Every structure is written in structure tokens, then in C-alpha cells.
Amino acid sequence: MEFPALALLVLLPAGGAGIVALIPERRRDLILPVTVGLTMLPLAVALWILWEFEVGNGAFQLTERVLWFEPLGISWNVGVDGISLLLVVLTAVLFPISILASTSITKNVKMYMVSMLILETGLLGVFVALDLLLFFVFFEVTLIPMYLLIGIWGSENRVYAAVKFVLYTALGSALMLAAIIWLAVVAGPQLGGTTFDFTRLLDAELSSGAQLWLFLAFGAAFAIKVPLFPFHTWLPDAHTEAPTAGSVLLAGVLLKLGTYGFVRFNLTLFPDASVRLAPWIAAIAVVGIVYGAVVAIVQPDVKRLVAYSSVSHLGFIVLGTFALTTQGIQGGVIQMVNHGLTTGGLFLLVGMIYDRRHTREIADYGGLARVMPLYAGFFLFTAFASAGLPGLNGFIGEFKVLLGSYLSLPVHAVVAAFGVVLAAVYLLWAYERVFTGPVTKEENEKLVDLNAREISILVPIAALIVFLGVYPRPALDRIEPSVDVILERIEAQTDYDVPRFGTTAEIDLAAEGD
Amino acid sequence: MIDYHALAPELLLAGTVLAVLTVDLLRVEKYWVAVVGLFGLFLSFIPVLTLGFCDTLTFCEDTGTRFLFGESYAVDSFSLVLKALFLGSAFVAVLLSVGYLESDRFWQGEFYFLMLSSVLGAVVMASSRDLVTIFVALELVTGPTFLMAGWRKGDPRSNEAMLKFFIIGVLSAALLLFGMSLVYGTTGELTFAGIRAEAAGIRGGDLEALFTVGVLFTLLGFAFKVSAVPFHFWTPDTYEGSPTPVTAYLSVVSKTAGFVGLLAICYLAFRDATFLWGPALWVLAAASMTVGNLAALRQTNIVRLLGYSSIAQGGFILVPFGAAVAAGVTDVQLEEAFFATVTYLLIYAFMNLGAFAVIIAGGNRLRSAEIGDWAGMFGYAPGLATMLAVFFFSLAGIPPLAGWFAKFVMFRAVLSVGGGWAAALAIIAAVNSVIAFVYYAKVVKSAFMDPAPEHVAVADLARMPTVPSLQFALVLTVAGVIVLGIFPGIIAEIGELTKTFASGF
């Protein structure tokens, strides 16, 4: 048996939660450093996985399969491919950062860290699970820690936001559980027994009616998680009220469960339904792009602004996914990582200023660039990345998404392109109001610039933003073969032809030449 | 010749019942009565194990299913699993009672005597294979609990709880007996095997109508016992008014005993009459889930909330029965449904007893069952609040806590039957699990996120210890809920064993 790297990856944080729980109350000061140390372990494993990953191979790698419970066809079945690989690494990177950013948590620190670590197990598990039931279990495991993180350590309206978050998600999960079982029951006779094994379920032939219903049930769960317009209303509340680390992880990783689910399960298991519904879902995504951006412009609360920008950015990812072209899906996947970095970075920055001033109102600031030049620099940099400035990571993702969707859904792509313009508007206008001009408020004059800890949090994110912006090739090379596997499958199962122009290599050259 | 090995659990338990009475007469601390009871329960558990692992033991002669007294009493893997469940749950229920009874001037010896007698009834129930035995067992389960419900003699609510429970209990016994008499009258048989054989000839004959009425009244009698809507109205008042350990006992052991009777009657005696009990139990399942959950949403008293929650959980347990509504349901599908119900019952016992253990521990501190008073518990009793969250989220079916697996097998049973009615029931169940989530999460929200009310002396409460027996019960149930949630294979293997039961004799 090979070294079970993925099992280790997923279980390390859960084991870490046990260790943190054992730290005695009188050594509270140890809790944060120990937790940071513990999250470095899964990060190390994730980097090892990144290293071991064979480029150019679109199949699942490092797979492990242990029967969990045989008669019901449930197994510990995990693996990574190009689509999940970077999300696993992103998750492992964001956790130590978010925990370092949690120094302002003083109430029940131990419980907070335990929740964080369990959340990490759940998130890593979701991305590597290749058994539908295992996926469901991890999907649900993320629910409770997030509920507690928002509800206990959030700001004023936290309880309302927590309950709203958890109810929306629970509704989606109930649908998904029923759909998973139904799928296994429908596919069981064809496969010689009930199984929840994703790779085996791919062999089942589902009627186009069944595909449609199953697509909708899975899709509902993922659409709530993404969230797609009009299921997005929980998101601004949850984001705004959550503690900084909660917002970072919510935006950085949790929302990706939805988009990842669409790519991983909806496109592959229900190709016929995907082709039929793609223009509609893409249309909803475009509505979300524009709506999220327009609403973000008028937000007086800077955290809420970033939250609505998430709705807009996630719309791009879904648009790319349902463009059903190589560039579109590839752009969607890389954009999941990009959005995690940029929006995660923005939430970290908002959290840093909130720790100093305890207000998120844009109107309470002004001229901060004079008092906190370093902070202003980081903010502008991240905002540019988020708005898709060429040379930074946001550009390559959005460009690919627009290119890919232009091939199959030109009207959608044209409308979505306005989203890019609007993103520049809301981010730069917010920057202008917060940072430029004279210092208008007396309280802001004595603000201290970033300290060493805060810089050490922001630097890795900034480095990754630049790296992916300047040299996205290594990432794209890993994603592309897996995307091709999905599209080949769709072409084989339906009469859909993936529109292409030129070869991907040429387009990549065009993209990088910019 | 009587197979004493097969009867050993019942005999040992009966001996314990007498021993408890005797110890009560001695001049010792009443505490020892409970200890003797616990020891007796443990002792009765041993032959259950030796019978269960008979094929691997040298001294044991493996005879497969052991029938005693003709075909009236059977010891098979189903009955052994359920006996283990009853003895284990009773063990926890006694642990819950010790601190409670010590805390005030209660009669103690009699209490354990009654509780253990009731457990004896439940253990007999698991093996009953004819109408008379099952009726006697059911009454032995229920009779003592009437008295236990009224154990707080000075409290009018406890008296009300007892009286309501008693009247409804007697009514349901009468209905059950009436139904059974019609079944006996039309088939001329008392054993389930005989009824099943005779029932085939009744279809289309003169007696069919009478037999149908008999079946429905029998189901009705059990519907009261498992507090299925619309026969549930005694449940909230009785649960709220009874001493909390008694409520825990009622909601787990007594309720499970009712379900075991229902399982035996439906899957053995009325096996070929799924067209009768399928639709009837479909309706009861849908109604229990919906009414139980909607009513639970509005509760402010945590015990009452769990009362309605247990009505709703009863609905979930009935769902696999309701799946038999589909025409042409196959034997394999019925086995799956049977398996789902048994698995659900096993998991339900752990999480519901655990939830009550938390409520008793919290009630000891707060002297209140109002959810509002429980607010902020995480601040002064983080361990207890965390356990509350564990059990409540398990009841809500969130993985990796055991409840998710119960929900999973339930959905699987009903969806694998297929067809419009089964699908409709699955949708009702799915909607209900979301509704249920709302109120479970509400209690957790209150304990974790709301500030403690001003009249609660937080500093005093933080220092208050949990009684050791209660701690033991909490550890047992928490471990069960977590381990079974992560390794559901364990419970499923056990449930799998019982499947042979559903495949007939």
C-alpha cells in the first residue's frame, strides 16, 4: 500500500483538534501558537502532494480506497486531480494565515481553535472525497464549526447571520442526501450492487429525465453554497458578521464547495442535463455577476462591499463552468483559487482595520493612506488583483472565463464583461473614499501601520497573487488534463461539441503575451 | 425440556427484580438498591452475549433460532440485539435516575423495582411470537411506568402526567386487545406464523372485512404506544410532568418496546398484508414527522421540545414501514425497510438518552427547563453545552454524529422501494429533517450564543459538579454517538444480523 498522504492530510487537523482541546486553561497563551503549528502539518502534506502530483495526467492520483461499510457500498475513497489539487493547497495555505489573524479572539479561544481545526478536516475532506457519501459527510462536517464561528465570535448581528447561514445550507444538504441515495438506488442495478463510488457511478447510464431531476437536486445544494442569485441572501449577512478568519475561510474555501461540486459532480454525472441547462445556469450566473457588482457599489459597509463582490466573482466561476469549453472550466477552476486569495486577502485587510477602529463604515475613514501607507499599499494591490488587473492573478482567471464563454455563449460573455468594469468601479471608489484625501476623522490620525505579524500574514498571499498572475502556466498545466477528461466525457455522452478555436497553447500564449 | 440458556436473560432479570425488593428491606443506604439493579442488568447482559456468539463458544450448542413454548417465544439474532438494546438503555436510565432520586425525598427501592419490571417486559417483548405473549409483555412494560410517571407526588403536573398516561394507556390496551381478538377470531391462530398462514386464505372471503378491522385496531393500539400522530396527545404532557429520568425511559425503552411489537406484528403476522399496514403507517409516519416537528418549533420548555422531537423521531422510524405502501414491494425491499427501522432504533437510543442526560444535568443546576434559562450555558459549563450540541446535532442528523446514519438508512429504505408514494414520503421526510434542524439548532444557539439571563447565578453554576453516575451516563452515550457516527459499520453489522428475521421463519 502506498503512503496514505490524503488520509493523513484530512485527519491531521482533526487529531490536532484533540491536542488543542487538551491544552489546560491556565496555558491559554499556548493555544494560538500550537494551533498555527498544527495547521502547518497539513500544509506540509499538501505541498508534498503538490510535488508528487503527476502533471499531464487528468485522472485521479494518490487514490486510496478502504471499504468503510461494505453492504451499503460506502468506502473511504479519496484522490486528487487537477481540479481539486489547487483547492486542497489553497485550503491548507489559508488556515495557518486565518489562525494567525485571529489574535483578537479572546472569548473561549480553545473552542474557537477546535472549531477551526474541525472545519479544516471537513474542507480538505470535501475536496478529496471520491465517494458521494463521504463527500456528503465532509460537506456536513463543515456546517457546525462555521455555525459556531459566526454565532459565537461574530459581530453584533451574529446570531441572526449564523442561523440564516445554517438553515440555507441545511436545506441544500437535505436535498443532496436524498439525491445521492436516489442516484445510488437508480444506478445500483446497472452496476451490480449499491455503490456510492464516484468513479463507478460514472458508468451508469441515466435516462435524461432522471438526470434532470438529479442535476436539480445536486444543483440546489451547490447553488445555495456558491451562492447563485437568488439564493445569495445568506452570504452578505454571514460574511459581515463572521469574525475575520471566518470571513476569509467562508470566501476563500467554503463557497468553493458549491462551484467545485458543480464541476466535479453535476458536469460529470449528469452530462445530458448539464448541456441542456447550461445556458440557463450561465444566465443566472451573469445576473449574479452584474447584480453583485451593482449592489457592491452602493454598500456603506466595507465588509459588506467585499461580500457582494464575492457574489459577483463567484458568478464568473459558474459562468466559466457552464460555458462548457476548455478555457471556461479551466478559468473557473483557477478563478476559484484566485478568488480565495484576493477576497481572502481583502477580508484580512478589513479585519485589520476593524481591530483598530471597530467600525466597518466607509464613511468613518478617509485619508488613511497618509497614516497607514503600508496598509494602503497592500489594500490597493489586493483590490487590483481582485479587479483583474493584468499581471496579477485575477486577470488570468477572468480572461479565460470570458474567452471560454464567448465561444459557446457570446451574449452571456458580453454582459459578464461589464462585471469586470463594475469591479474596478466599486473597488477603486471604495479605495478612494477610505484612503485618499486628507484625514477627516480625528480618531484616524493616530492609527498605527501594520505590525510584523500582520505583514507576515499578508506577504504569502501577495506572493501567490503575483506568482499566479505572472506565471500561471504550472497551475494551468495541472488543471487542463482533468478539464479535458470532463469535456471528453460530455462529448461522448451527448451530441454536444465543445467549441474550440485554435489550440489551447496558442490561446495561452496570447494570454501571457498581454 | 426448557432451554434455560435461552431464557437466562429473563430469569436473571427477574431475579434482579426480586433482589432489588429484598435489598430495599435491608438497613442500608438506598443507593445500594440502584447498585444492585445495575449489577443485575449487567449480569443479564452476559447470557445475551453468550447466546449471540454461540457459534464461537465451545460450551454452547448452536441451534440457530431457539423456539420455546411451541412457537410463542423465539430467541434469534433480532431478539438478542433488541434485548441488548433494552438492557443497555435501562442501564443508562438507572444511571440517570440515581442522582435525581437522591436529590429529593423520593421512594427509591420501589422505583427501581418498577423500572426493572418494565425492562423485563421489554426483554420479553423482543422474543414474543404470539398475540398473548406480546400483549402481556406490552402491559408489563407499560404498567410500572404509569406509577413512575407520578413519582413526584407533591407536584400536580406529575399527577396529571400519570393520570393522562394511565387513561390513554388503558384505552390503547383495550383497543389493542379488541384488534387482537378479531385477528384471533378470524384466523383461529395466536402465533404469528399461524396467523400469516391463515391470513392468506381469508383474502376475498367472508371474514376479510373483520380481519381488516382487526389488523387496523391492532396497529392503532401500537400507534398509541409509540405516540404516533394523531395518537400522541398524551405525550407532551406526560413527558413534561414526569420526573425527567422517567421521561428518558419512556421515550427510549418504552417507545422502542412499542416499535419492536409493531415490527414483529407487521413483518411476521401481517407479512402478506402490506397493502393494509403500508398505507396506514405511511399516513402515521407523515403525520408524526410533520406535526411533531412543527409543534416542536414553538416549544419554550426543553423537555416538552424533546417530547415533540421524539414524536417526530418516531415518525422517521415509521418511514421505512410506510415504504411498504408501494404495490409489489419485494421481500428484499422489506428486509431493507426492517433493517432501517432496527438501525434507527439502536442509534436513537444512544442519542435520545444522551440528550436527556444533558437535560437532567442542566436541570440539576438551573432548576428550570425553560430554554431561555439555558442561554449562555457555554459560558459557565462548556463541557455540558458541548455535549448538548453533540446530542442535538446528532438528533438533527448531522455527520459525523450517529444520527446521520439513521437518517441515511431511513432514506435509503424508502427510496429503494421507488414509486410515487414512497418518493412523496421521502420528500416529506427531507423537508422535515430541515424543520427539525431549526429547533435543534435553536437550542444550541441559545446555549452557545445568547447571554445568560440575569437571574442565573453564573458563578455558582460554574462550580457545580455533575453527579458521577450522570457523568458515566454522559460518557457512555457521547462515546456511542461519536464512535457509531464515524464507524457506522458497527451498528449496520448489528442491524444486518436482524435482517434474517424479516425474511420469515
What residues of B are in contact with residue A108 (Cβ under 8 Å)?
Answer: 378, 382
- Nearest by CB to residue B400, choosing from A111, A141, A148, is A141
What residues of A are in contact with residue B433 (Cβ under 8 Å)?
Answer: 174
DSSP line for A183-218: HHHHHHHHHTS---BHHHHTT----HHHHHHHHHHH
Pairwise pLDDT comparison (B99 vs A287), residue with the higher score: A287
In sequence order, what are the residues at sequence separation of 6 or more whose Cβ sits closer than 8 angstroms to the Cβ of residue A40? A96
Residue among B477, B357, B429, B392 nearest A144 (CA): B392
> Mean pLDDT throughout B374-393?
90
- The rounded distance, in Å, linking the Cα atoms of B319 and B399 is 20
> Mean pLDDT throughout A126-137?
92
- The rounded distance, in Å, linking the Cα atoms of B27 and A81 is 73
pLDDT band at A507 (very low <50, low <70, confident <90, very high): low
Tens digit of each residue's pLDDT (9 = 90 or more) over B145-187? 999 999 888 888 889 899 999 999 999 999 999 999 999 999 9
**Chain A interface residues (partner B, CB cutoff 8 A):** 68-72, 108, 111, 133, 136-137, 140-141, 143-144, 147-148, 151-152, 158-159, 162-163, 166-167, 170-171, 174-175, 177-178, 181-182, 184-185, 188
Share of chain B above pLDDT 90, in %: 51
B500 touches chain A (CB under 8 A): no
HSE at residue A182, side-chain half, CA atoms within 13 A, is 24
Task: Give the per-residue pLDDT at B505.
Answer: 44
Residue among A425, A390, A220, A212 nearest A309 (CA): A425
Tens digit of each residue's pLDDT (9 = 90 or more) over B407-438? 999 998 888 887 788 888 988 998 899 899 98
HSE at residue A286, side-chain half, CA atoms within 13 A, is 22
In sign, the C-alpha dihedral spanning A156, A159, A164, A165 is positive
- Nearest by CB to residue A181, choosing from B398, B412, B434, is B412
Instruction: Give the type of residue at B384.
Output: L
What residues of A are in contact with residue B441 (Cβ under 8 Å)?
Answer: 147, 163, 166-167, 170
Tally of structural domains, chain A: 1
Reply yes or no: is the peptide bond before residue A227 cis, omega within 30 of 0.
yes
> Mean pLDDT throughout B205-221?
90
Number of H helices, E strands in chain B: 21, 2
Tens digit of each residue's pLDDT (9 = 90 or more) over B100-132? 888 877 888 889 999 999 999 999 999 999 999
> Mean pLDDT throughout A231-248?
89
CA-based nearest distance B230→chain A, Å: 26
Instruction: Give the type of residue at B17.
Output: V
What letter does residue A56 receive in the DSSP assignment? T
> Mean pLDDT throughout B277-305?
92
Characterize B119-157 residue by residue with b for buried, 16 or more Cβ atoms within 10 angstroms of its Cβ, and e for exposed: bbbbbbbbbbbbbebbbebbbbbbbbbbbbbbbbeeeee
B419 touches chain A (CB under 8 A): no
For chain A, the C-alpha Rg in angstroms (whole number) is: 22
Q: Provide the residue ranges of all domains of chain B, joining segments of one domain with +.
A: 271-505
Residues A287 and A342: beta-carbon distance below 8 Å: no
- The rounded distance, in Å, linking the Cα atoms of B18 and B123 is 16
Task: Give the per-residue pLDDT at B68.
Answer: 82
Residues A407 and A500: beta-carbon distance below 8 Å: yes
3-state secondary structure A308-321: HHHHHHHHHHHHHH
DSSP line for A93-114: HHHHHHHHTTTT--TTHHHHHH
B412 touches chain A (CB under 8 A): yes
Residues A195 and A73: beta-carbon distance below 8 Å: yes
Task: Give the per-residue pLDDT at A514.
Answer: 46
Task: Give the per-residue pLDDT at A437.
Answer: 84
Taking CB atoms and an 8 Å limit, are B382 and A111 in contact across chains? yes
Stated as kind and residue range, the H or E segment containing B426 is helix B420-449
- The rounded distance, in Å, linking the Cα atoms of B202 and B187 is 8
**Chain A residue closest to B446 (CA)?**
A159
- The rounded distance, in Å, linking the Cα atoms of A225 and A213 is 19
Tens digit of each residue's pLDDT (9 = 90 or more) over A199-229? 888 888 888 888 998 999 899 999 998 888 8
Average pLDDT score over chain B: 89
Tens digit of each residue's pLDDT (9 = 90 or more) over A25-53? 788 888 888 999 999 999 999 999 999 88
Task: Give the per-residue pLDDT at A265.
Answer: 92
Residue among A102, A98, A150, A103 nearest A120 (CA): A98
> Mean pLDDT throughout A170-193?
86
Taking CB atoms and an 8 Å limit, are A185 and B416 in contact across chains? yes
Residues B87 and B48: beta-carbon distance below 8 Å: yes
Task: Give the per-residue pLDDT at A511.
Answer: 56
Task: Give the per-residue pLDDT at A313.
Answer: 92
Residues A409 and A282: beta-carbon distance below 8 Å: yes
Tens digit of each residue's pLDDT (9 = 90 or more) over A408-448? 888 899 999 888 889 989 999 999 998 888 888 888 888 88
Of A164-173, A472-481, B125-134, B490-499, which range is least confident? B490-499
Task: Give the per-residue pLDDT at A71.
Answer: 66
Taking CB atoms and an 8 Å limit, are B489 and A69 in contact across chains? yes
Domain range for A316 is: 5-513
What residues of B are in contact with residue A185 (Cβ under 8 Å)?
Answer: 412, 415-416, 418
Average pLDDT score over chain A: 88
The answer to whether ipTM exceeds 0.95 is: no
Taking CB atoms and an 8 Å limit, are A159 and B449 in contact across chains? yes
Residues A82 and A479: beta-carbon distance below 8 Å: yes
CA-based nearest distance A182→chain B, Å: 6
Share of chain A above pLDDT 70, in %: 96
Task: Give the per-residue pLDDT at A190.
Answer: 84
Grid coordinates of B284: 402515521
In sign, the C-alpha dihedral spanning A253, A259, A262, A264 is negative
* Alpha carbon separation from B388 to B108, B354, B377, B381, B407 (Å, rounded): 28, 8, 10, 11, 20
How would you class B172 by CB atoms within 10 Å of its CB: exposed for 0-12, middle for 13-18, buried for 19 or more?
buried
CA-based nearest distance B291→chain A, Å: 19
> Mean pLDDT throughout A371-375?
89
> Mean pLDDT throughout B345-359?
94
3-state secondary structure of A55: coil
- The rounded distance, in Å, linking the Cα atoms of B73 and B70 is 7
pLDDT band at B454 (very low <50, low <70, confident <90, very high): confident
Is it the case that residue A510 has pLDDT exceeding 60?
Answer: no
Strands A74-80, B66-68: pairing is unpaired
Taking CB atoms and an 8 Å limit, are A133 and B408 in contact across chains? yes
Residues B436 and B451: beta-carbon distance below 8 Å: no
- The rounded distance, in Å, linking the Cα atoms of A132 and A177 is 9
Residue among A343, A346, A323 nearest A399 (CA): A323
Q: How many CB atoms lie within 10 A of CB B298?
A: 10
Task: Give the per-residue pLDDT at A503.
Answer: 54
Is it the case that residue A512 has pLDDT exceeding 70?
Answer: no
3-state secondary structure of A495: coil
Task: Give the per-residue pLDDT at B381.
Answer: 86
Is it the case that residue B69 has pLDDT exceeding 90?
Answer: no
Task: Give the per-residue pLDDT at A70.
Answer: 66
3-state secondary structure of A299: coil
Grid coordinates of A355: 481591530
> Mean pLDDT throughout B211-228?
91
Residue among B221, B343, B330 nearest B284 (CA): B221
> Mean pLDDT throughout B317-346?
87
Grid coordinates of A63: 487514490
Task: Give the per-residue pLDDT at B463.
Answer: 79
Taking CB atoms and an 8 Å limit, are B415 and A166 in contact across chains? no
Stated as kind and residue range, the H or E segment containing B29 is none
3-state secondary structure of A75: strand
Alpha-helical regions (H) of B450-487: 458-463, 468-486
- Nearest by CB to residue A137, choosing from B399, B438, B441, is B399
Task: Give the per-residue pLDDT at A505.
Answer: 52
Stated as kind and residue range, the H or E segment containing B272 is none
Tens digit of each residue's pLDDT (9 = 90 or more) over A99-121? 998 888 888 888 899 999 999 99
Q: How many CB atoms lie within 10 A of CB B209?
A: 11
Tens digit of each residue's pLDDT (9 = 90 or more) over A324-353? 998 999 999 999 999 999 999 999 999 998
What residues of B are in contact with residue A149 (Cβ under 8 Å)?
Answer: none
